[in-house]
Amino acid sequence: MNSYKKILMPVIVLLQVAVLVFMAAKQEYILAAGEKILLKCQPVDPRSLFSGDYVILNYEITRTDLETITVKDGEKRSFDINETIYIALDKSKMDKYWKAAAASRDIDWLRSRYKTVIQGRIDQYYNIKFGLEDYFVPQNEGRELERDLDNVHVEVSVMPDGSSAISRLFLNDREVRFY
Amino acid sequence: MADIKDMLQWLLNEVNIWITKGIITPEQRDRILKLYKVQAQNSIKPAAQKAAVKHTGRINLARVILVLAVVCIAVGLVIFYASNWRRMPPGVKMAQVFLLILTCYGASWFLLFVKKEIFIGRLILMLAMVTFGIGIMLVAQIYHISSHPTNGLLVWAIGTLLLSAVLDEQWGYYMSLALFTIWDYWEVVEYGNAAYLFIAPLLVLALFYYRRSDRTGLVLSVSLMIIYFFQVNIHWAGAADYNNKHVTEAAFMYMLYGFGPLLMVAGRMMRFNEKLEYSGYVVTLTGWITFMVPLLTLSWPYKIPDTTPLILFPRGTWIQSGQFAAFILLSAAGIRKLSSMDVKPHIYIPFILTALILVMVPHYSTTARMISTHIAIVGLIASSLSFAYLVPGEWHIEKGMAFLLTIAMFIVKWLGLTGSAFADNGYMVAYLVGFVIFATVCFLVNRLVKHLAEGKSYPSMIMDIITAVAIWFTLYTASFKIENQVSIFKADTVVIVMLFLFITLAVILYMVLMARLKQNRTIIYLSMIVFITSGIALFIARGEVSWIAYSLIFNILLFIATGTAIYYSTVIQSRALLNVAVCAFIVHIGTRYFDLFWDMLSGSVLFITTGIIGLAGGYILDKKRRQLINTFDSAEGDHE
């Protein structure tokens, strides 16, 4: 083995480790610094993949009706598959859960009117995905959630740039903790 | 002396093995050989070299066990972290995985660079690369990241490729290729993306494989590049505006007419390079199939709604039309290059010309499309079979593909026309006879090539057998009760034109063969009987004609077809063919006995007529045989 390989190998390994650290740190930062909001879940058939069991979460805001929601003046209401979309979230004092109030491609426009904006992407079925749809659970322990998915809601941490992460999950208003 | 020579030869082989095992360096080998006054490499006998390679390639049980053990550990680790064990808090899992990654990489570094345990070091390195992927999946699991799961796979693949490139690690290249392929498949199938980026790792990996002379890796990456071409183009065709949808889809199919010859030519050129030889075979093979797919798909009489001529490069097809033009130009340049390399690339020229003609024909006109594609089919069968066997050079794969093209066209048309006969009962005779005429043309082309390739090993028997079997089954299908036929003259113009086209082709081929063949004409005459008689059945077919007429014609033809096979078995002295032909005869008789049982009069007419024809034919043949024997006898007498 050449000497340059001897030196370069640890460099690449450190790079790989740095990628992992960055991934974890980014999520930790969102959870620590983001605004906490509650989102209501809708029941969806759960699935399990080889990479680990998880419960599929679907939100009321996933199926936001873009035909009726407030949009920026002159903005096209139809979004393409894979296009980034920002949804402004709002709730009255009476409400427990946050709901979609406006949608736009322009986050600055939304943020000038609303405090909380979440970033999503249009999927191939023209639903909005926020990256909050999978909740990984220990093996065979998602069944209780699946049975009562109607009464599940999650606390989401949202950053000013619209990025988000699930911070807590509740079943019948009680936090579900697996660890 | 001989013993010392053998010993030195043994030493020469052994030192090469020691180098591959890392026991000695090439310099040390040279010093050892110098001691015995033996020159390195030059004096190694090729056979002994092969034996040395065989020796180094021996299966080592311990290594097999080590590989399997590492695979087991890798799979076990993936499943362990995927199981998301609740007794282990996320923080502990994260710490553990970081430790695992660093330990595995550290161990592999130690084994590779310090202990020089190359094999085990590489195995642990592979395990370490897997742990990096586990780390990514674990982060996604702990933080419930689901925005685009393929991104994790992409990061894993890039990390693996980067490290493999630094260490020039062959197994790592394969692992990253597998990861990139899974990523691509996931992006395309699950998310409907074009995955444009996929080409980058393929090119990089191909470069590494080339540098390492890794033929398997090159075959894999080249095959994936071809898949990439299709996935991107299918994505573009699928994303076309609704208004341009039909014309874009048509343009995509026509573009393949250009891509096929390009792959054929490129594959031929690649075969000159030792490293790219196998990839060249794959590319050539794909080229033939790429050309066949649109040719077979577009050769059926369905309507194409869009009426924009493709030759005008209509809006919405610029990507496809542009690629078509580029492919044709590149193919032509490739042919020129091959000519300059003393290769005679005649076989590819008809494909390029066909592609150009087909794209000029208005694709929306069913008649024009049908005529052009069918002429192309017959023309390409004839040119491919001829050039593959008549042009000198290394054309092994082209020979095989020429037959595959012929057989594929033949079988698809057979199944298609027989299926149409059952779907559209009114034109059953037309469809079945239509196939008999098509098969006759293919049979005659095969015979003509056999004649032209006289003295060369042209396997005409393959097509002879396939044609015979297909015609026999078609006649057998037609020999059942067929009623209420519609006159062929009431069919669509395209059908009539197609029939006349193939009849004309068959007549021309018969004339050419008759002019060229001075002997062995019997089989041509027998095929002519089937061709003419089934043609008569086609033109007399109408509502008023009784089923008995069709039944008599097709049953007699079936007997003639069986008789031809029996005759041919005696010509080539094949007992197997004779047995098959006799079985066919028994099947035919048995079917008719039960089929015509309730109409004894027709049955008796059929059997008596066939019997009389058989008696007459047998008598004539036997008389000729006796005449021939007498001629031989008298010739021998004169000689004595």
| Residue B84 domain flag | no
Do B574 and B620 lie in one domain? The reply is no
For range B152-161, the mean pLDDT: 94
For residue B261, give the nearest of B182, B376, B363 by alpha carbon. B376
The pLDDT of residue B42 is: 43
Do B548 and B603 lie in one domain? The reply is no
Tokens of B565: 């096979």
Do B557 and B455 lie in one domain? The reply is yes
Taking contacts as CB-CB distances below 8 angstroms, the residues of chain B near A58 are: none
Instruction: Tell me how many degrees the CA angle B55-B59-B60 measures, rounded to the nearest 5.
Output: 105
Q: How far apart are CA A86 and CA B34, in angstroms?
A: 76
Of B140, B144, B166, the CB nearest to A12: B166
> What is the interface size between A and B, counted as CB pairs within 8 Å?
122
For range B278-293, the mean pLDDT: 94
Do B618 and B488 lie in one domain? The reply is no
pLDDT tens sequence for chain A (179 residues) = 567 888 888 888 999 999 989 988 888 888 888 888 777 666 554 444 445 678 788 888 888 888 778 778 888 878 888 889 999 998 888 888 888 889 899 999 999 999 899 999 988 788 888 988 888 887 777 777 777 777 888 899 999 999 999 888 888 888 887 76
Do B500 and B574 lie in one domain? The reply is yes
Do B457 and B525 lie in one domain? The reply is yes
Q: Which of A23, A39, A122, A132 to mutate to test the interface with B (most CBs of B within 10 A)?
A: A23
For residue B205, give the nearest of B230, B232, B168, B242 by alpha carbon. B168
**This prediction's pTM:** 0.75
**Could B163 and A17 be called an inter-chain contact, meaning their C-beta atoms sit closer than 8 Å?**
no
In this prediction, residue B183 has a pLDDT band, given cuts at 50, 70 and 90, of very high
| Residue B542 domain flag | yes
Q: How far apart are CA B195 and CA A71, in angstroms?
A: 31
Can you name the residues that pair with A49 across neighbouring β-strands?
Answer: A52
Tokens of B516: 């060229």
The pLDDT of residue B43 is: 41
**What's the complex ipTM?**
0.73
Tokens of B419: 């299926």
What is the CB-side half-sphere exposure of residue A50 using CA atoms within 13 A? Answer: 5
Q: Which of B132, B143, B190 to mutate to test the interface with A (most CBs of A within 10 A)?
A: B143
Q: How far apart are CA B439 and CA B531, in angstroms?
A: 10
| Residue B512 domain flag | yes
| Residue B361 domain flag | no
| Residue B396 domain flag | no
Q: Phi-psi bin for A27: left (phi > 0), alpha (psi -120 to 50), beta?
A: alpha
Can you name the residues that pair with A70 across neighbouring β-strands?
Answer: A102
Taking contacts as CB-CB distances below 8 angstroms, the residues of chain A near B140 are: 23, 136
The letter for the amino acid at A29 is Y
Q: Which residues contact B227 (CB under 8 A, 6 or more apart)?
A: none
Over residues B483-502, the pLDDT tens digits come to: 888 998 888 888 888 889 99
Query: Which residues constitute the domain of residue B615?
Result: 599-640
The backbone torsions φ and ψ at residue A171, rounded to the nearest 5 degrees and listed phi first, read: -125, 120
Q: Which long-range contacts (CB under 8 A, 24 or more apart) does B359-365 make?
A: B359/B254, B359/B257, B359/B258, B359/B310, B359/B311, B359/B324, B360/B311, B362/B307, B362/B309, B363/B250, B363/B254, B363/B298, B363/B304, B363/B309, B363/B310, B364/B303, B364/B304, B364/B305, B364/B306, B364/B307, B364/B308
Q: How far apart are CA B381 and CA B586, in angstroms?
A: 34
Q: What residue ranges do the domains of chain A occupy?
A: 1-33, 35-175
| Residue B18 domain flag | yes
Q: How far apart are CA A22 and CA A43, in angstroms?
A: 33
Q: How does DSSP classify residue B226?
A: H
Tokens of B64: 């097999």
Do B566 and B450 lie in one domain? The reply is yes
* Residue A127, min C-alpha distance to chain B (Å): 13
Q: Which residues contact B581 (CB under 8 A, 6 or more apart)?
A: B562, B565, B566, B569
Over residues B380-437, the pLDDT tens digits come to: 999 999 998 888 888 888 998 998 888 988 888 899 888 888 888 888 999 999 999 9
Over residues B252-271, the pLDDT tens digits come to: 989 999 999 999 999 999 99
Over residues B267-285, the pLDDT tens digits come to: 999 999 989 999 999 999 9
Q: Is A20 on the interface with B (CB under 8 A)?
A: yes
Do B483 and B630 lie in one domain? The reply is no
- Residue B171, Cβ density class (10 Å: 0-12 exposed, 13-18 middle, ≥19 buried): middle
Q: Which of B56, B72, B100 is the last residue of a domain?
A: B56
| Residue B613 domain flag | yes
Q: Phi-psi bin for B347: left (phi > 0), alpha (psi -120 to 50), beta?
A: alpha
Do B528 and B430 lie in one domain? The reply is yes
Q: Which residues of B touch A (CB under 8 A)?
A: 81-86, 88-90, 94, 97-98, 101-102, 105, 109, 112-113, 116, 128, 132, 135-137, 139-148, 155, 159, 162-163, 166-168, 191-193
Can you state the angle between helices B493-516 and B522-540, rounded to 10 degrees?
160
* Residue A98, min C-alpha distance to chain B (Å): 20
Domains: count for chain B: 3
Can you name the residues that pair with A119 across neighbouring β-strands?
Answer: A86
| Residue B298 domain flag | no
CB neighbour burial string for A37-47, b if at least 16 within 10 angstroms, e if fewer: bebbbeeeebe
Do B541 and B479 lie in one domain? The reply is yes
Q: How far apart are CA B448 and CA B450, in angstroms?
A: 5
Do B528 and B509 lie in one domain? The reply is yes
For residue A34, give the nearest of A168, A172, A173 by alpha carbon. A168
Do B551 and B571 lie in one domain? The reply is yes
For residue A52, give the nearest of B87, B86, B92 by alpha carbon. B86
